[in-house]
Each structure stands twice: as structure tokens, then as C-alpha cells.
Amino acid sequence: MEFAPERDAEIFSAVPPAPAVFRLRGDDAEAEPYISKTASLRRRLLRLLGASGEISRRLNLRGRVRRIEFTLTGSDFESGFLLYQTLRQAFPAKYRERLRLRFAPLVKFNLDNPFSRAYITRRVGGLRGKSAYYGPFASRAAAEKFLHSSLDLFQMRRCDFDLHPDPQFPGCIYSEMKMCLAPCFKGCTDQEYAGEVARVKAYLDSGGQSLLRELSAERERASVELKFEDAAALHARVEKSAAAAGLLPEFARRLDLLAGLMIQPAAEPDAVALFRIDAGRISGPILFPLQRREGQPQSMESRLLESLAAAPPAAPGSALELMEHLALLKHWLFRTRKTGEAFFAGDKGELPMRRIVRGISRVFRGERAPSGTAPEGPELESL
């Protein structure tokens, strides 16, 4: 809408007192617009564009703004995601500084190196390489605790330099403690080290379940063969492995398998807003009306599947865009108090549709999710 100071009362009364993302423009087309989000658009515009009869340090744009553009939103997450998209388009060189995005910590499994290793990073490299990324984590400390506890269960290297295997190399404390196969001084063959790397990758891909299954099977065999001391030692390793796997957040997994659905309140009545998560990228909102329309399938689950099928997933983008989406997702997931719910696909890539339908009802009614049900994790044995 056009803004004219002499008609401010009429304009302010026409603006809803609702959450929104807005942009204020002046006469100069080359001037930077003012872009922000707010919990009450009318109150914010009154502060920015209202008459100021006294000297004040508050920002007042009454004499500069000629046009008001806004989009109403239903939740803080929707406002933040829309603000990110708007600033990215308006200020391609400065939007990250304006948003103060802090990238999410991830575990990187560097498979491009002939002697693979895993470490913590906040950066996603080229998406076409062999390396795999796992996350997101709440903090670097949380990611390091999970990774170090997990690597204690294997014999993969932890050193951060390029290896040039040499029998004269002295090795390190991990090789002396038999916690590394020591490829640095040819303490193992390349095939043996590759086999250990494959075990670590299976562990990370399964959220720790592959090692639990492996150790549990060995423990059962030892018990059957009456090797009780071996069975006790294996039981201790099973408990240690379960404790390490328990440090992995429910929704953290390999990024190309990070798929789910977020449910948020909608700005429109009798509806909720859905956000798809595909390989860590967010798309939406998808407006999902709760009232069945004439000619539509009877069940809410059928209508939900129809709506998701009609909304394409986020288009593959750059690694930087993926890091930005993960930062937004991580910021919401690890909030102590948040609006909405998120449900993630299980190990077979299928969404828990029945639980999503119940989650939609809760979000629409403004109810909190039962403890331990949101966000949903993969339906594995004991993750």
C-alpha cells in the first residue's frame, strides 16, 4: 500500500495487528529498503511511521517512506524463513551479516582422503565429493562429545595431517593404546583400514545401530558357547556403544537423508502451514486447510499426501544455501520453547503419517506436543 503522512490514521487502521515480514520503500529506487519482521505489524508501523512530536532517539521513517509491502505470517519460524528469503534477494552480499546466521555444527566423514577420518566442521564442502555429513548438532561441544565417544569404539585414525605411510614413523598415543590401526607406519594393510572405515560409516549411517547389532550378536554367541568372561566384556562394550549412540540428537543423520515435515500455525484461519525438509533444505509454506472441501478425499491423511505430492521439494542449490537452511533448522529444533512440531522420516525414508496427522491437530489447537514425541526420530531399535 502507498503511504502518505496526511492519511496515516486511515493507513494504520487498515494494517492488521498480526505477525508479518515487511518492507518499507522510499521515492528513490536506488535507496536500500527497510526490511524486518514483527509480531504486530500495526504496532511496528506506528512506531516507525507515526508522528513524532518530540526529539527521540527512536528510528522514525515517516518522511522517507512512500510504500509499505508486507506478508502476514503464522509463526516465528515462518517469519524467520521468509525474512531470510527476502533479505537474500534484496541484499545478496550482506544478508548473512544482517541475519547473523551461525552455521550448525556437523560431523564430516572425509571419504575423499585415501585414509579417511571424521571430524567436526560448520562448513559443507562441494556436494559432488564422496564425503558425508551428519547433523545438525546443538553445539560444537555436543558434536565433539558424540564423535569422540563413537571413535573410541573403533580403530580409525584421528590425526589431522595427510598420511604418507612409513615404517620409520613413530606413531602416536592412539596406536600405542591399540585405539588406531596405525596406517601411518603401515601397522595395517590398506584393505584392513578400508574395512574399519566401512564399519564407522555404517555406524554413523545407522545412528549407532550397526555396531549394537554386531556386538549383541557376538555377545549371544559367547553366551551360547559358555564363554562368560567374553560375554561380560562384550556386554560392557554394548553398554558403551549404546551410551555413545544416545548422544546423537533424534533428528541428526546423514544430510542427504535428512527429510521431514514441519508443522506451524498459519496466518489464515482453519489451516496450518507445512514446511518440507528434503536433504536438509527447507521449502514452503504449504497451506493445509483442516476443513475437507467438497470432492476431496475423506481422510486427512489422504489429503495431506495429496498436498505434499502437489508441492515440489526444494530445488538443489549450493553448499552455502544448504548450510543456511541447516542454520535456520537447527535454531528452531534446539529452542527450549517453540511453536509447532517436526516429524522426520525413518530409516526407510517414510514419514510417520499418523503421528503427523495428530501433530497437525495439536498445532492447530495450540497444544504442546507430548514429551518425547517431537521432533520425531528414525524408528530404529534403540536410538
Please determine, for residue 378, whether its predicted confidence score (pLDDT) is greater than 60: no
Residue range 122-128: average pLDDT?
85
**What are 162-188's pLDDT values in tens digits?**
888 888 888 788 888 888 998 988 888
- The closest alpha carbon to 368, from 339, 326, 325, belongs to 339
Distance CA 119, CA 322 (A): 19
* Per-residue pLDDT, 375: 44
Distance CA 331, CA 101 (A): 9
Average pLDDT of the chain is: 89
* Per-residue pLDDT, 53: 66
Helix (H, G, I), strand (E, B) or coil at 90: helix
Residue 186 has which C-alpha cell?
Answer: 603401515
Of the chain, the percentage scoring pLDDT greater than 70 comes to 94
Residue 178 has which C-alpha cell?
Answer: 591399540
DSSP code for 2 = B
* Per-residue pLDDT, 54: 65
* Secondary element (H or E) of residue 339: none
Specify whether the CB–CB gap between 48 and 59 falls below 8 A: yes
Distance CA 29, CA 32 (A): 8
Residue range 350-368: average pLDDT?
91
Please determine, for residue 383, whether its predicted confidence score (pLDDT) is greater than 50: no
At 381, the pLDDT band (50, 70, 90 cuts) reads very low
* Per-residue pLDDT, 372: 52
* Secondary element (H or E) of residue 96: helix 95-99
At 293, the pLDDT band (50, 70, 90 cuts) reads low
Residue range 273-296: average pLDDT?
87
* Per-residue pLDDT, 376: 42
Distance CA 115, CA 156 (A): 9
For the chain, the domains span 5-72, 106-207, 255-365
- The closest alpha carbon to 339, from 77, 51, 93, 160, belongs to 77
At 369, the pLDDT band (50, 70, 90 cuts) reads confident
